[in-house]
Chains A and B, each alone.
Chain A
């Protein structure tokens, strides 16, 4: 057995040495300035016109989707929505730096990553209308997307639960010898959950090729980040757990792309986790159930509107001559129409038949669920008008 000495790497001091907060400097990677011009010293990632256009279009798409669905919720067409306005660069550019075989485990504000993977308007709408075409069979509230085909794990509302799961998923990828990593998105609020600490520590100790991507958007519903933690953000914790860590401007597409690309390389090459803290701002309300006027000022929001990630990236693309304004306007108008059309179609589609209520609880329904379904069907037949969505469907 190997002799071990757990003090081997610890130096000595002969005076009481108090390590104070802020002694470790964790700078934020920024490539593009808010006006879209690149910092002179910055090293630009390799992003060509085609990739840039896909990133821009995806960001514009999710913004239109968000606007449309917030309105649809206000109109009472869906029960709930959660927009990602202001955070598009964080999720879209990070997803762009991944490979399709990489697993995405998201929190709930990562529609940008999902859209980048190719989730269609129809798929978004089917989910939000909980209809029978929906991939999760209409079982969860709007925005709880999931797609096996796109390697996007179905979203769960409880916060932070996906973090240790990502460690486990990535460990499985490593053991299977796959050329793939797992990216795990979460907010700075969710990072207060015990699962964050458990997940990061396990990933570090068990050398899991996972990218932990924190969207530090300043708020957990109403709670500002200074009431969430007293340390230097989330990045400082990565260091504590022995996880390689990058802090990045989350409103800067090129910085997020560069950071995630490098994180993926490290995770694969060294078979280890990497933590990215993306500094951004939740310009949207937490959800359609929230009203931010109760906890933050319009002025504060306006200051962040000036750092709009879509505007910033588009300005950079324009400087490269990659934006045809007329074509882009056409894209926006066509997308708007396409989203609306998908919405109108999805809201007409019925929910799953009642038989589905007992499916997927287990691999096959046990006797007691079959009995409960039979009883329920008899009851629905007795009062068809009281259960209009499921009665009279054979």
Chain B
């Protein structure tokens, strides 16, 4: 395996971690208005992700930073070509980020309500936009011979991409509902379970439609073959199985299955792309690949040492922080601020 491929795998890993971890905290944010109208209960819902969301978001930030270092042309083409989508995503992440901190700092119903809706919108928009973005990675954007992606925002908001966006929105919501069922008690837990059961059918249906459209809209199945292998199949089977676990009240297993579904779908996408990172809709030769967009071998080497040192450390201390805050949260818990 060459260094470019190693880095393709590491970036795929960063995206998987981001979708799995921030996926459930996006879901919790989206479900916040549906979970409860009562202030202490809402605080309890927020506190299920309180210690984690910032660390989870770093998987995205690090994916961006790492992309800049190891595939600078991918970073440059993607971030400039998806300009308005990213502006929208930044606005969402700004509101969401300060909302967690500001919400309880002032005792006024209008204030609280404003920040609660910021958490909702700030979670919903990125959950949707990530589906849109990934769909366009696969479907292709008008990249010219000098690696510039023209075409603007309307080109990105095509029906297929929007379908993928709504799908990712529902899957993250389902993932978040199951996380809430794992982390809350009593009425909050029941509410989360019932939301999860409601969300399962549209999430699964959308996922299957989305995969079908991927056959016609992208070249992924041409590349992966008619029998695309076990990875996408497992991804769908995992999602289908969630309802049986929810009916048995086995939220832990259900969470494991949504995790598998998200991880395996992401792996499928990256497998279908390889060795490309951004498909050109104008000319296959103008697609960005891990080879024409990568840094020098020296920089890749330095980054490899850095990643092999630090990513295991991150997994250890983030895992530890999940361990510290493993208890369920209820409105009667001592709620930090």
Whether both chains belong to one complex is answered with: no
Q: CB within 8 Å of B: which residues of A?
A: none
Residues of B within 8 A of A (CB): none
